[in-house]
Amino acid sequence: MAESFIRFDKVTKDYGTVRVVEDLDLDIARGEFVSLLGPSGSGKTTLLMMLAGFETVTKGAIILDGQRLNGVPTYKRDMGVVFQNYALFPHMNIARNVAFPLEMRGTAKSDIAARVKRALDMVQLGHLSDRMPGQLSGGQQQRVALARSLVFEPRVVLMDEPLGALDKQLREQMQLDIRELHHRLGLTIIFVTHDQDEALTMSDRIAVFDKGQIQQCATPRQVYDHPANRFVAEFIGETNLLPGKVTGVDGSKIALTMPDGSVLRADGATGLAVGDAALLSLRPERIDLHGPNDAPAGLNSLRGEVADTIYQGDHLRIVVTTPAGRIIARVPRKAAEWPNGASVALGFRPADGWIIAP
Ligand code: ADP
Ligand code: MG
């Protein structure tokens, strides 16, 4: 990884006797887009608040560009912040709202107008600078909040569920807008969300949170294809988890023997040894359905019986009962269909399964 621009070094946060962030390490490179993803209450906002200086650190240190931040007041940290409900000042027009951080910093009057215009043009709202916030839609207001967080060219932009209040269509459009701004301006962005699709869409890396700890921090591809543990496998996307026993390990290639004695082969997390109990994580879309004796050679094959077929418009979800448990496969709408009760073989490539500790 590139040199660390922001470093969380064994950061712990206690509220009274309750520990909400525990011994957390995280390095973020300059220009990186990192999402903090996790269930409600897992400590994401608290981590952001400590970085912004709105909360103190109980133990450990936060370092920005080589400077230890503990004790540095918020206004000296030079960070842009956008929150889910970060209201604009209702009595100021859009241009004045965006000018506010510059006025606070004593920017020369002659510069302010030009910088406000540039920031508003960036979020495609230059033509609305005279309007009042109440005259803008929710999405437009959130874009103004974004412009306000960027206008003073902060070293870091922190966003805490900034799109949470928007409807799905607008949210998806703003995701692409922010992604584009990030690329164009080379910003360092830390983005909190509990929405896995949002994190997958936007991030260079995703830090998956649970109970105040990072379970895994890696690229969207890595966390989805190679989850570090069960929590990550279940939190990101949908997966089938099939219990078995490790009966062979050759580097990252693992053989897993299922309860019915069949053997499945897949890559897996390091640290598993022969004799260990383990789980095969198998994504529904990585599974093909075949006739009971038709699974192509070289694929893993699991026999089962079709229990249900659910039409979902662009794909079919097929529920199959197998000796290893109930498995959901997601197949293209045009794939062959089987009646309930039909015997089938589920096929998947070893590279499409992933074995983890239970
Ligand atoms: P997230 O953003 O992941 O939903 P938070 O960081 O907001 O989680 O909260 C983590 C935990 O810390 C929660 O259990 C929350 O109730 C608790 N918490 C947050 N802020 C405070 C506070 N000011 N005082 C006491 N507990 C708090
Ligand atoms: Mg939060």
> Residue 51: pLDDT above 70?
yes
Residue of 12, 15, 49, 190 to test ligand 1 pocket, by largest number of atoms within 8 Å of CB: 15
- Measured in Å, residue 47 CA sits from the centre of ligand 1 at 10
Q: Is the CB of 164 under 6 A from ligand 1?
A: no
Tens digit of each residue's pLDDT (9 = 90 or more) over 123-170: 889 999 999 999 998 889 988 998 999 898 898 999 999 888 788 888
- Measured in Å, residue 209 CA sits from the centre of ligand 2 at 11
Q: Is the CB of 193 under 6 A from ligand 1?
A: no
> pLDDT higher for 20 or 123?
20
Q: Is the CB of 46 under 6 A from ligand 1?
A: yes
- Measured in Å, residue 160 CA sits from the centre of ligand 2 at 7
CATH code of 4-233, in short, is 3.40.50.300
pLDDT attached to residue 208? 98
Work out which ligand 1 atom sits closest to the CA atom of 48.
6
Query: What's the pLDDT band for 337 if we cut at 50, 70, 90?
Result: confident
DSSP per-residue letters across 167-226: -HHHHHHHHHHHHHHHHHHT--EEEEES-HHHHHHH-SEEEEEETTEEEEEE-HHHHHHS
Number of DSSP helices (H) and strands (E) in the chain, helices first: 9, 20
- Measured in Å, residue 43 CA sits from the centre of ligand 1 at 6
> Residue 173: pLDDT above 90?
no
Q: What letter does residue 45 receive in the DSSP assignment? A: H
Query: What's the pLDDT band for 297 if we cut at 50, 70, 90?
Result: confident
Tens digit of each residue's pLDDT (9 = 90 or more) over 176-226: 989 988 998 899 999 999 999 999 999 999 999 999 999 999 999 999 999
Q: Is the CB of 54 under 6 A from ligand 1?
A: no
User: For the CA atoms of 117, 83, 36, 240, what is the dihedral angle to 10 degrees?
Assistant: -110
> Residue 54: pLDDT above 60?
yes
In CATH terms, are 4-233 and 238-356 the same topology? no
User: Mean pLDDT throughout 101-119?
Assistant: 93
User: Mean pLDDT throughout 308-326?
Assistant: 94
**May I ask the CATH class of domain 238-356?**
mainly beta
**Domain boundaries in the chain?**
4-233, 238-356
pLDDT attached to residue 46? 96
> Residue 86: pLDDT above 80?
no
Tens digit of each residue's pLDDT (9 = 90 or more) over 2-14: 579 999 999 999 9
Q: Is the CB of 194 under 6 A from ligand 1?
A: no
Residue of 8, 40, 42, 46 to test ligand 1 pocket, by largest number of atoms within 8 Å of CB: 46
- Measured in Å, residue 213 CA sits from the centre of ligand 1 at 13
Q: Is the CB of 240 under 6 A from ligand 1?
A: no
| Cβ neighbours for 58, distance < 8 A, ≥ 6 positions apart | 12, 13, 14
Query: What's the pLDDT band for 84 if we cut at 50, 70, 90?
Result: confident
In degrees, to the nearest 5, what angle opens at C-alpha 47 toward C-alphas 65 and 229?
A: 105
Range scoring the smallest mean pLDDT among 47-61, 153-167, 269-283: 153-167
Range scoring the smallest mean pLDDT among 192-201, 227-236, 237-246, 292-301: 292-301
Work out which ligand 1 atom sits closest to the CA atom of 40.
4
Residue 235 host element (H or E): helix 230-235
pLDDT averaged over the chain?
A: 93
> Residue 1: pLDDT above 70?
no
Residue (of 273, 164, 285) closest to 224 by Cα position:
285
